[in-house]
Amino acid sequence: MPFLPPNACFETRLPLPADRLDLIPVSEETANFHVSCEVNDALRAGKPLVALESTIITHGMPWPGNLEMARGVEALIREEGAVPATIVVIDGRLHIGLGDDDLAALAQTKDALKLSRADLAYAIAEGRTGSTTVAATMIAAEMAGIRVFATGGIGGVHRGAEESFDISADIDELARTPVLVVSAGAKALLDIPKTLEALETRGVPVVTCASETFPAFWSRDSGLPSPLTLPDAPAIARFQATRERLGIEGGMLVANPVDAADEIPRSEMEAHIAAALDTAKRQGIARKEVTPFLLSEIYRLSDGRSLATNIALVRSNARLAARIAVALAA
């Protein structure tokens, strides 16, 4: 049962015109939640929905490519017959579904916090603005009753984690929160074998769509076999529905290799990753800053190609996520 009922932010009749949303009285318990009309209507009608994160917009890509990506992804999801729900905290309000003006403003926000399980409630309590990572987006999606979520690549076990202990909270979230996450695997700047081990230990199913090998974000092939493989969205939806019926807790990671036409081969990426990791080490970059720093360094080193591939893979993930959501709702 979702924590947040679909009509949590409304106390009056539905549907409401979007421009009157702010006039609607909200109760104290629900004042911190804002479910857009489009998302609210979809939830009530049992229509397929796809959650989208916001860290990728504020910390993962430079402006204006980030806005182009965010808009494009929302349009693609609608094209596939599902409803997009971008999730973010703005001035202490958790938004589930964002209008285009807010999306454009968010894409140019410089000082948004990067929120995970540990600090999602902190941002709400303190009236702050923060973007949700995979972990925080899963939490919010579950509250709203959204079962499918599309991103670029999950966080995982960082290279050198045996010394730094740097393991993304995304891993534990996948183990506990029942949301299906579609990604292009784990970001290649991570230690992918250890990331797969960590997921296996926690009982997280890792299913690659239509490939026997696990992808490496910008590249189609990490060189590692995928723990599970399924051919298409209906098969993945069947697997997820069976898990739900059996009451098996936790999420699922669906890996979707980037299209061959958009990929950057692993050999080429490795040189950029090694150089970026070296710079990060010399500059003492740590904790939450590591992933955004490495992504922007790799963008610079690859003359912007990493961004074009990142946008392509998120679009492809959004399409697959929408198809899974449609199949699950059928």
Residues within the interface to ligand PSU (CB under 6 A): 53, 55-56, 59-60, 133-134, 151-153, 155, 168, 170, 288, 291, 295, 310, 314
Given the residues 74, 80, 173, 187, select the one marked as catalytic. Answer: 187
Full 3-state SS string of 31-48 = CCEEECHHHHHHHHHCCC
Q: How far apart are CA 295 and CA 262, in angstroms?
A: 17
Ligand-binding annotation for 134, yes or no, is yes
CA-closest candidate to residue 84, choices 251, 249, 314, 330? 314
3-state secondary structure of 124: helix
Question: Catalytic residue at 53?
Answer: yes
**Nearer CB in complex with ligand PSU: 40/208:** 208
**Nearer CB in complex with ligand PSU: 134/321:** 134
**Nearer CB in complex with ligand PSU: 291/302:** 291
Q: How far apart are CA 196 and CA 177, in angstroms?
A: 18
Ligand-binding annotation for 91, yes or no, is no
Q: How far apart are CA 153 and CA 172, in angstroms?
A: 15
* Residue 34 beta carbon to ligand PSU: minimum distance, rounded to whole angstroms: 20
Ligand-binding annotation for 207, yes or no, is no
* Residue 94 beta carbon to ligand PSU: minimum distance, rounded to whole angstroms: 16
* Residue 52 beta carbon to ligand PSU: minimum distance, rounded to whole angstroms: 10
* Residue 251 beta carbon to ligand PSU: minimum distance, rounded to whole angstroms: 13
Question: Catalytic residue at 110?
Answer: no
Ligand-binding annotation for 169, yes or no, is yes
DSSP 133-198: -HHHHHHHHHHHT--EEE-S-B--BBTTHHHH--B-HHHHHHHHS--EEEESBB-TTB-HHHHHHH
Ligand-binding annotation for 288, yes or no, is no
**Nearer CB in complex with ligand PSU: 151/219:** 151
Residues with active-site annotation:
53, 187
